[in-house]
C-alpha cells in the first residue's frame, strides 16, 4: 500500500494516481500534471542532505527517489525519523514493540536500497508530536552535526488535499518544527550554544507541497523507491499496486517539468 502506516483522513489521492480503488491513504499530494510555470529542475546534487520526517516510511513516500538519486551521485544522505511509528498499521492487538521492531527492520532495508549514509530514529510519541523546543533542539543538533547543504521535510502548510485527504498532524508538527529550527536557531552563534558549531543550510525542500516548484529527476531510481516502499508495506501488500502507484506518481511529477520521472518539492533558498 502506498501509505505512511498511519491512519490518514482520506484515500482519494492514491486512487487519482493509479486510477483504481484502493484501501490505502495517499500520504501526499498529486503533483499537478501540467507544466508548472517557472519550475526548476534540480540538476546538482548537494554534498550533504538531511531528511527529517515524522514516521519511518514518510521519507520513502515523499522523497525516496531524490534521496536515492542523490546518494548515487555521491551525496551523503542522512535521515532523521522523529517517531518509531508505533501507531501505524491496522492491527489493533499487536504490541508497540512488535510494531516498532517491524518498522525498524523495514526502514533498515529501505535505507540500504536508497543508499542512505545514516539513519537515526528518535522516540517522540507517534501521533502526539508537537512543535516544541525539545523537538526543535533535536533538529538543530542534527543539523549542526551533519552540516547539510539541503534539508528535506514535510510541508506543514499543506493540510487539505482535494476533498478526501488531510495531512497527518505529526507531519505538520515536524514540518513546523523544521521551519522553526533551520534558520537562525541553527546558524546563529548565540542560539543553542550547547548543541555544536552553528551551521547555515543552503536549501530546504518541502515535501508533499501543494505548491511544488523544484523537481528532482528520478528516472534511474523509480524502481528502487518502489522496492523500498514494498518493504514498508509488508508481505500482505499488493506489490504490483505499489509499483504502479510509484511509477504513476513519478510520471505525473515529471510532466510538470517535461521529464519522464521526477519528485516535486517547494524549495526555500536560505543561503
Helix axes 58-72, 222-233, angle to 10 degrees: 150
Q: Cβ closer to Zn ion: 87 or 192?
A: 87
Q: In the complex with Zn ion, which residue's Cβ is closer, 58 or 242? A: 58
Q: What's the min distance (Å) between Cβ of 158 and Zn ion? A: 13
Residue 120 vs 219, nearer CB to Zn ion:
120
Positions in 8-67 near Zn ion (CB under 5 A): 55, 58
Closer Cβ to Zn ion, 53 or 241, answer by number: 53
- Residue identified by cell 478526501 is 164
Among 4, 121, 140, 227, binds Zn ion (CB under 5 A): 4
CB 88, min distance to Zn ion, A: 8
Nearest-approach distance from CB 172 to Zn ion, in angstroms? 11
CB of 111 to Zn ion, least distance (A): 16
Question: Per CB under 5 A, which of residues 165..184 are in contact with Zn ion?
Answer: none
Only segment of 3-11, 140-148, 189-197, 223-231 that touches Zn ion (CB under 5 A): 3-11
For 232, the grid coordinates are: 514498508
Output the residue with the shortest Cβ distance to Zn ion: 4
**Smallest gap from residue 162 Cβ to Zn ion (A):** 18
CB of 54 to Zn ion, least distance (A): 5
Number of residues located near Zn ion, criterion CB under 5 A: 4
Residue 4 Cβ vs Zn ion, minimum distance, rounded to whole Å: 3
Which of residues 129 and 257 has its CB atom nearest to Zn ion in the complex?
Answer: 129
Pick the closer one to Zn ion by CB: 42 or 102. Answer: 102
Residue number with CB closer to Zn ion (60 or 140): 60
- Please list the residues that pair with 80 across neighbouring strands: 52, 120
Listing DSSP states for the chain in one string gives --S-SS--B--HHHHHHHSS--SS---SPPPPSSPPTT-EEE-SPPSEEEEEESSTTHHHHHHHHHHHHHHHTT-EEEEEEEE--TT-SS-TTS-HHHHHHHHHHHHHHHHHHHT-SEEEEEEEPTT-----HHHHHHHHHHHHHH--SEEEEE-TT--EETTTEE--HHHHHHHHHHHHHSSHHHH-TTS-TTS-S----SEEEEET-SS--EEEE-GGGHHHHHHHHHHHH-TTS-HHHHHHHHHHHHHHHHHHHTSSSEEEEEEEE--
**Residues of this chain that bind Zn ion (CB under 5 A):** 4, 6, 55, 58
Amino acid at each position: 500500500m502506498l501509505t505512511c502506516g498511519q491512519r490518514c483522513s482520506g484515500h482519494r489521492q492514491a486512487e487519482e494516481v493509479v486510477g483504481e480503488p484502493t484501501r490505502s491513504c495517499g500520504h501526499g499530494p498529486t503533483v499537478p500534471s501540467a507544466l508548472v510555470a517557472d519550475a526548476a529542475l534540480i540538476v546538482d546534487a548537494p554534498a550533504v542532505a538531511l531528511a527529517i520526517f515524522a514516521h519511518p516510511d514518510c521519507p520513502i513516500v515523499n522523497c525516496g527517489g531524490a534521496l536515492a538519486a542523490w546518494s548515487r551521485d555521491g551525496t551523503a544522505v542522512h535521515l532523521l525519523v522523529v517517531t518509531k511509528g508505533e501507531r501505524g498499521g491496522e492491527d489493533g492487538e499487536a504490541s508497540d514493540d512488535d510494531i516498532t521492531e517491524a518498522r525498524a527492520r523495514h526502514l533498515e532495508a529501505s535505507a540500504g536500497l536508497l543508499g542512505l549514509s545514516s539513519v537515526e530514529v528518535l522516540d517522540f510519541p507517534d501521533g502526539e508530536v508537537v512543535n516544541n523546543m525539545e523537538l526543535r533542539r533535536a533538529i538543530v543538533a542534527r543539523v549542526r552535526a551533519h552540516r547539510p547543504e539541503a534539508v528535506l521535510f514535510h510541508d506543514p502548510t499543506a493540510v487539505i488535499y482535494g476533498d478526501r485527504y488531510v495531512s497527518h498532524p505529526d507531519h505538520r508538527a515536524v514540518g513546523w518544527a523544521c521551519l522553526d529550527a533551520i534558520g537562525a536557531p541553527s546558524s546563529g552563534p548565540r542560539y543553542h550554544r550547547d548543541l555544536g558549531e552553528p551551521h547555515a543550510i543552503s536549501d530546504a525542500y518541502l515535501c508533499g507541497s501543494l505548491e511544488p516548484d523544484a523537481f528532482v529527476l528520478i528516472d534511474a531510481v523509480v524502481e528502487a523507491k518502489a522496492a523500498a516502499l514494498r518493504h514498508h508495506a509488508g508481505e500482505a501488500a499488493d506489490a504490483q499496486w505499489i509499483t504502479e502507484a510509484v511509477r504513476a506518481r513519478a510520471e505525473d511529477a515529471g510532466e510538470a517539468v517535461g521529464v519522464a520521472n521526477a519528485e516535486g518539492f517547494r524549495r526555500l533558498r536560505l543561503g
